[in-house]
Chain A
Amino acid sequence: MRLLFLVSGVSSIVIVCLILLFLLKDGLPFLARYSFWSFVTGTTWAPIAIAAEFGLLPILAGTLTVTAIAIAIGLPVGVGAALYLSEAAASWERELVKPFIEVLAGIPSVVMGFFGYVVLGQVVRSIFGAPVEHNALTGGIILALMAIPTIVTISEDAMRSVPKTFREGSLALGASRWETAWRVTLPASASGVTAATMLGLGRAVGETMAVLMCTGNAPVIPTGVLQPIRTMTATIASEMGEVPYGSTHYHALFMVGAVLFVLTLAINTAARKLIGRFHFRGR
């Protein structure tokens, strides 16, 4: 029996290795046909043009832009909501609001994308005067909404696990509840908040359907947040269905997948390292 369980246990390692192996198996042939340098520094993604170009920069910039917008909105909102729930809300209020926010996490990404596509796009267009409904900002707001439940849940847990004595000490010195929340609880829970943000970041980089639907599907380097863009994930999802097996384009998409894999791996590893350090300092 032990052996059987050992095999199941090891399966995760095998799967991670297989993912890397198969991404490289179908990704590396791309580099035999297209120069690595032109791939990473190219500013045009035009895979079906007669002189096909596979420049990574436009779709990498697209991914970074929506991710940055999502974090810029999601981090303050998520941490603010968590701070409210943990430090100011009555316990009955917390018990009602927290599960409700968690429902948001359960909404499938394609439904969030659909909402962004038909409703939010129009709002963004009329409020910010965007030239088109589907642009980096629309996608970024939807991504922020998808990241917020994670940020709220993990940050709030971290804040509530700050020892009570920290707060009592601060209050005894004459600080108000707000000063205690801002100067004591928030810094003491920095590790959890960082973990939450990093998880949200990793998810935003990897999110596919919502950004595919909301960001306008234009693989060009953006100069502003109201422009249509396209992310790496959306590029794979929207183009993979139409490429002939074994073509340069096919291998290029696997190469983009490999870049995405490495990028998210780096973010997650950095998150774990960072969390370890904060924990050490907090104790």
Chain B
Amino acid sequence: MSRKSATQFIAFWLLRLVCYTVVAATGYIILDIAAKGWPHLSWEFLTAMPRNRMSAGGIWPAIVGTLYLVLLTIALAFPLGVGAAIYLGEYARAGRLTRTIRLAIANLAGVPSVVFGLFGLGVFVIFFNFGTSLLASAFTLAMMILPVIITASEEALRAVPQGFREGSFALGATKWPTVRRSVLPYALPGMLTGSILSVSRVAGETAPVLLTGAALSAAMPESVFDQIMILPYHLFILATNMYPPQVYVPLAYSTALVLLLVVLGLNGVAIAIRYVVRRKHSF
């Protein structure tokens, strides 16, 4: 018996070690970027245009570009994703079409982001002639996050109790009024949570934008057909394409910190919404 418990002791300690190695690595990455990114962070860094081959000034256009990209992408993807989820959750019957749609969603979720970039380049930049632009990037990213929004929205619809629908039908309402008045209002917060989580992915995504709309340096975008600067690409350029590294790596650290704060901040907002809503409605 004691040999048995000794084995258990050692095995569980090894697993604990493995688990906390992952925790330590996560903590180390975040602290490293926070510690080395913090000293250079200033009001000017956040709100000024880059100057002097990006070695001075700030990252304001990249922040604005990222923000525009996120907003435009979600504006394009949210209605389509929610529509698809409503079809799958409320209207569709089991059958070949539904199976095919689900297969397509699963496959779409597995397509590498750089392949979405090629697709966006072929379709939006060249075929629709948007040029390398904010609009082309937003369309490309919208296609990319569509599966996430559909899945999250469907889950939110499923969480609305069946009784809500039955009550509405019993009062003589038809399908669409039922969905609109008795289902959607209760599913909307869940849909938003899922969508914000997918948006945080948009803010950090680089490869598809690189192929469809990102510029090394650009003026503030004035229309959707302008090229944009974005935080992730700016970070990539500062880190790998500029010389000397002593000048640019500290700037890259600060850019990484800002990007990390934007992305983790968006995740935090989503989780906060979920928490508040869960407390408010509990069916």
Asked if B176 and A114 make an inter-chain contact with CB atoms under 8 angstroms apart, the answer reads no
Within 8 A of A (CB), among B1-31: 4-5, 7-8, 11-12, 14-16, 18-19, 21-23, 25-27, 29-30
Asked if B175 and A2 make an inter-chain contact with CB atoms under 8 angstroms apart, the answer reads yes
Asked if B83 and A4 make an inter-chain contact with CB atoms under 8 angstroms apart, the answer reads yes
Asked if B92 and A9 make an inter-chain contact with CB atoms under 8 angstroms apart, the answer reads yes
A162 at the interface (CB under 8 A from B): no
Within 8 A of B (CB), among A226-244: 233, 236-237, 240-241
- A80–B256 Cα distance when bound, in Å, is 30
Nearest CB of A to B151, in Å: 11
Looking at the complex, which one of B90, B203, B236, B249 makes contact with A118 (CB distance below 8 Å)? B249
Looking at the complex, which one of B23, B100, B107, B147 makes contact with A265 (CB distance below 8 Å)? B107
Chain B residues with Cβ below 8 Å from A265 are 107, 110-111
Chain B residues with Cβ below 8 Å from A76 are 18
- A109–B208 Cα distance when bound, in Å, is 13
Using A22-B119, A268-B110 as known contacts, say yes or no to A106 and B80 having CB atoms under 8 A apart.
no
Nearest CB of B to A158, in Å: 16
Asked if B112 and A207 make an inter-chain contact with CB atoms under 8 angstroms apart, the answer reads yes
Using A8-B83, A268-B110 as known contacts, say yes or no to A233 and B7 having CB atoms under 8 A apart.
no
Nearest CB to that of A182 among chain B residues?
Answer: B11
Using A15-B104, A236-B114 as known contacts, say yes or no to A176 and B4 having CB atoms under 8 A apart.
yes
B67 at the interface (CB under 8 A from A): no
| Interface stretch of the complex, out of B54-62, B120-128, B275-283 | B120-128
B192 at the interface (CB under 8 A from A): no
Asked if A26 and B122 make an inter-chain contact with CB atoms under 8 angstroms apart, the answer reads yes
Looking at the complex, which one of A9, A78, A177 makes contact with B101 (CB distance below 8 Å)? A9
Using A4-B83, A114-B256 as known contacts, say yes or no to A240 and B211 having CB atoms under 8 A apart.
yes
B207 at the interface (CB under 8 A from A): yes
Q: Most A CB atoms within 10 A — which of B108, B112, B204?
A: B112
Asked if A176 and B22 make an inter-chain contact with CB atoms under 8 angstroms apart, the answer reads no
Asked if B22 and A152 make an inter-chain contact with CB atoms under 8 angstroms apart, the answer reads yes
Asked if B118 and A254 make an inter-chain contact with CB atoms under 8 angstroms apart, the answer reads yes
Chain B residues with Cβ below 8 Å from A12 are 84, 101, 104-105, 108, 146-147, 150
- A46–B30 Cα distance when bound, in Å, is 38
B220 at the interface (CB under 8 A from A): no
Asked if A176 and B5 make an inter-chain contact with CB atoms under 8 angstroms apart, the answer reads yes
| Interface stretch of the complex, out of A32-40, A49-57, A82-90, A124-132 | A82-90
- A205–B147 Cα distance when bound, in Å, is 19
- A204–B135 Cα distance when bound, in Å, is 28
| Interface stretch of the complex, out of B43-51, B162-170, B221-229, B259-267 | B259-267
Nearest CB to that of A209 among chain B residues?
Answer: B206
Asked if B19 and A206 make an inter-chain contact with CB atoms under 8 angstroms apart, the answer reads no
User: Which secondary structure characterizes the binding site on chain B?
Assistant: helix
Using A111-B256, A267-B110 as known contacts, say yes or no to A23 and B263 having CB atoms under 8 A apart.
no
Nearest CB to that of B234 among chain A residues?
Answer: A110
A13 at the interface (CB under 8 A from B): yes
A272 at the interface (CB under 8 A from B): yes
Looking at the complex, which one of A8, A23, A206, A213 makes contact with B236 (CB distance below 8 Å)? A213
Asked if A6 and B23 make an inter-chain contact with CB atoms under 8 angstroms apart, the answer reads no
Asked if B252 and A114 make an inter-chain contact with CB atoms under 8 angstroms apart, the answer reads yes
Asked if A178 and B12 make an inter-chain contact with CB atoms under 8 angstroms apart, the answer reads yes
B65 at the interface (CB under 8 A from A): no
- A88–B14 Cα distance when bound, in Å, is 11
B239 at the interface (CB under 8 A from A): yes
Chain A residues with Cβ below 8 Å from B81 are 8
A16 at the interface (CB under 8 A from B): yes
21 pairs from A and B in contact (CB 8 Å cutoff): A1-B175, A5-B83, A10-B97, A77-B21, A100-B27, A103-B264, A104-B22, A106-B200, A106-B267, A108-B203, A108-B204, A110-B232, A110-B233, A114-B252, A114-B256, A118-B252, A206-B113, A209-B232, A240-B121, A261-B112, A268-B107
B residues with a Cβ closer than 8 A to A are: 4-5, 7-8, 11-12, 14-16, 18-19, 21-23, 25-27, 29-30, 32-33, 79-84, 86-88, 90-92, 97, 100-101, 104-108, 110-119, 121-123, 126-127, 143, 146-147, 150, 175-176, 200-201, 203-207, 210-211, 232-233, 235-236, 239-240, 249, 252, 256, 259-260, 263-264, 267
Please name the 6 residue pairs, one residue from A and one from B, whose CB atoms are nearest each other, closest first. A108-B204, A206-B112, A8-B83, A9-B87, A84-B15, A178-B8
